[in-house]
Amino acid sequence: MPVKKYKSILFLVLILAFSVLLSQGAGFSLSALAEDFSSSIEGATGWGTTTLAVYWTDSSDSSRIEQIPAKEPFRILSRYSDDMLQVEYNGMTGYVKTDYVLINLPDVEPDIIYNLTNATGSIFTATTERGTVNQKLDLYGTQIYYNGDTAAYYNSDTYSRTAGSRAGKIWNSKLGKYEFAVPILFTAAEKISKARTLALADGYDFKIYDAYRPNTATQLMNTSFNSLYGQTGSALHLAGYNTSFYVASALSAHNIGCAIDLTMVQGSEEAEMPTQMHVLSGDAVLLNYSDTGRTAHELYGQPYDYYEENFANTMTEDARRLCWYMIHSGMTGLGSEWWHYQDQRAYSRNRGFYPNLATWYPCQLCSSTAFGDISSVPDIVTRRAEAVYQLWAAAGFPIVPGDISFTDVTPLDYYYNAVRWAVSTGLLSGSSSSTFSPNDAITRAGFLDMLFRYCGGQAESSVNAAAGQPDPQNGASGENTSGTSVFTDVSPNAWYYDAVQWATGLGITDAAAGAFSPSGVLTQAQMHLFLTRASAAGIALSQTYL
């Protein structure tokens, strides 16, 4: 072929490529195609938004073999077709339709950062028109951080489990770590995965602050937000929107698991966004208000160009970039919040089922726990933040007053209230006067000492008598009453000596091992073993979190 013809073809290819890039949106290129996440769904937890019919092969087979009640956990085995999943339930294998399935997002996207602040507290605020006052949205009685008292957040009359079963992280056997349960509709999860692939290609990753929440929470938020508006009148900055644009008056997309609140990170740093997360204010609007409205229903199907033409002047480059990723992956934005995106098609198909989920929180029901064998918890390192949070959860999320001033722990961190509890009660101190070092590993001695301090260094005499063990106040294990160490590598002069002796006396540790390895890094398996043995010895700990 002549050289001239080669050049002509190359020129046409370049023109075509340039045209495609222009159509994708200003400033961003489609760096990579989203990977199909079907290969990662094996073993994931699923729930139905309604009663699911289970078929032998597909929906054309009239031989329905089973029904799975709404909210009942099942294991997802594979993707059978575009609209069918192969699942396992009660020892039976069959097929269900994807449209009505919630999947646990961390099971398929484990590397997203999950920081569900509404599971351990709340960070909703609102600003005044002048921007001089940051009003706390009073959801929980007296302050925005309810410190684990979930009774006010999840309707205790309709969901009577302990606080521990309704908040925070659980053991996820598929991932081999403690993680939030994040139910989201399967089709939405697929779009989020696609958007994350686009973000990763540009050096970004996602951080999710909220996903599913029960309708009872939406009602409480709406009442509180309107009460705040009533107190401040026109002082609240709403940028032309009314209050229902910020907090749903009835049904929220979050209530049926098709919406997420997210931001982006580069390394450990969050991207620059118009405001902090969950500022219900005109400062945080995605699109300028107009008479046509900016609800997700009205924005459904609009291309990225439409968003770009109507961006609020507060939008940052990173906020525009996040919007581009989400819109090009099939999600729909919400005009009043830069962080909120939802699968509007899934919303339309499942909105009628939201009463099933109105008071449901899936933490204890998560089949990642039910299907897993806790004895197979792998030996992965336990971080200081994880250790503090897990003991706080096992202790029933005790409420403490006061603040902490560590530069590396913020109210946006899931472990904020746990650290505040541990530090204020003297269970654990910071790594320095200004830092806590949440990501540093904790040692075996460090965790056992924290558990010892939480228990007050003592156990009920009746518990010890029933267990056939001496009073640990006397500093001995079952076979040692001399006050000498029961471990070869634990000196009586060691700062953790009393804790180890106490733990051995209760059977929390095993003196038969000979050595305790106090400076060894605590694994998650060891943390779980210490806590479950402490509970068996009569220490009051939440069974839900053990």
DSSP string for 315-381: --HHHHHHHHHHHTTT-EEETTEEEEEE-HHHHHHHGGGGGGGTT---TTT-HHHHTS-GGG----B
Phi, psi of 502 (to 5 degrees): -60, -45
Task: Say what the pTM is.
Answer: 0.65
Q: Where among 86, 104, 122 does a domain terminate?
A: 104
1-19 residue pLDDT tens: 343 444 455 444 444 444 4
For residue 322, the model assigns a pLDDT of 98
Choice between 467 and 452, residue whose per-residue pLDDT is larger: 452
pLDDT band at residue 439, thresholds of 50, 70 and 90? confident
- Is 127 strand, coil or helix? strand
Place of tokens 């620059």: 272
**For 363-410, what is the HEC assignment?**
CCCCHHHHCCCHHHCCCCECEHHHHHHHHHHHCCCCCCCCCCCCCCCC
- Of the listed ranges 48-62, 127-141, 278-292, 296-310, the one predicted with least confidence: 127-141
Residue 4, domain member (yes or no) = no
Domain identity same for 134 and 62:
no
Contacts of 531 (CB under 8 A, 6+ apart): 390, 391, 394, 451, 541, 545, 546
Strand, helix or coil for residue 454: helix
Q: What does the pLDDT average to over 70-91? A: 90
The mean pLDDT value for 214-231 works out to 79
The model's pLDDT over 144-171, given as tens digits with 9 standing for 90+, comes to 222 333 333 333 333 233 333 334 666 6
d(CA 437, CA 385): 8
For residue 479, give the DSSP letter.
Answer: T
The residues with which 262 forms a beta bridge, in sequence order, are 208
Who wins on pLDDT, 413 or 281? 281
Q: Quote the tokens at residue 283.
A: 């400062």
On the question of pLDDT at 64 being above 50, the answer is yes
pLDDT band at 252 (very low <50, low <70, confident <90, very high): very high
Based on the domain organization, do 346 and 481 belong to the same domain? no
Evaluated on CA atoms 278, 281, 287, 291, the torsion sign reads: positive
pLDDT in tens, 17-47: 444 443 444 344 333 333 467 889 999 999 9
Residues 117 and 65 placed together within one structural domain of the fold: no
Both 122 and 91 in a single domain? Answer: no
What's the confidence (pLDDT) of residue 253? 94
The domain of 501 spans 375-545
Helix, strand, coil in percent for the chain, rounding step 5: 35, 15, 45
> Is position 22 within any domain?
no
Of the candidate ranges 50-59, 147-156, 170-179, 311-320, the one whose mean pLDDT is the lowest: 147-156
pLDDT interval class at 130 (50, 70, 90): low
When pLDDT is cut at 50, 70 and 90, the band that residue 529 belongs to is confident
DSSP string, 268-295: TEEP--SSSTTB-SGGG-SB---TT---
Is residue 381 domain-resident?
A: yes
Q: Which residues, listed in sequence order, are joined to residue 236 by a DSSP beta bridge?
A: 128
Do 234 and 94 sit in the same domain of this protein? no
Instruction: Please check whether residue 238 lies inside any domain of the structure.
Output: yes
Are 393 and 279 found together in one domain?
no
Q: What is the CATH number of the domain that holds 66?
A: 2.30.30.40
In a domain, 25, yes or no: no
User: Do 351 and 382 belong to one domain?
Assistant: no
For residue 128, the 8-state DSSP code is: B
d(CA 501, CA 511): 9
Q: What is the CATH number of the domain that holds 236?
A: 3.30.1380
Whether 384 and 298 map to the same domain: the answer is: no
Residue 448 has pLDDT above 60, yes or no: yes
Task: Please say whether the beta carbons of 103 and 97 come within 8 A.
Answer: no
- Whether residues 353 and 395 fall in one domain: no
The rounded distance, in Å, linking the Cα atoms of 545 and 396 is 9
Domain final residue, candidates 104, 132, 163 = 104
546 — pLDDT class (breaks 50, 70, 90): low
Q: Looking at the structure, tell me whether residues 92 and 134 fall in a common domain.
A: no
- For residue 357 the two structure tokens come to 């989920």
Task: Measure the CA–CA gap between 487 and 293, rounded to whole angstroms.
Answer: 70
Residue 58, domain member (yes or no): yes
The H or E element that residue 457 is part of is none
The radius of gyration of the chain from alpha carbons, rounded to an integer in Å, stands at 26
Determine the Cα–Cα distance for residues 377 and 372; give it in Å rounded to an integer: 9
272-282 burial, b for 16+ CB within 10 Å, e for fewer? ebbbbbbbbbb
Asked whether residue 524 falls in the same domain as residue 493, the answer is: yes
DSSP 121: -
pLDDT-derived band at 132 (thresholds 50, 70, 90) equals low
Last residue of a domain, one of 82, 104, 126: 104
Tell whether the model's pLDDT for residue 363 goes beyond 60. no
Is residue 29 included in any domain, yes or no? no
Q: What percent of the chain has pLDDT over 70?
A: 71
Quote the pLDDT of residue 306: 94
Task: Indicate whether 363 belongs to any domain.
Answer: no
Instruction: Give yes or no: residues 91 and 233 share one domain.
Output: no
Q: Measure the CA–CA gap between 388 and 461, rounded to whole angstroms.
A: 27
Q: How confident is the model at residue 466 (pLDDT cuts 50, 70, 90)?
A: very low
Quick: pLDDT tens for 488-525: 889 888 999 999 989 988 889 887 778 898 999 988 77
Each residue's pLDDT tens digit, 87-127: 998 888 899 999 999 999 999 999 999 888 766 656 778 88
Q: What domain count does the chain have?
A: 3
Tokens representing residue 307 in the block: 């968003």
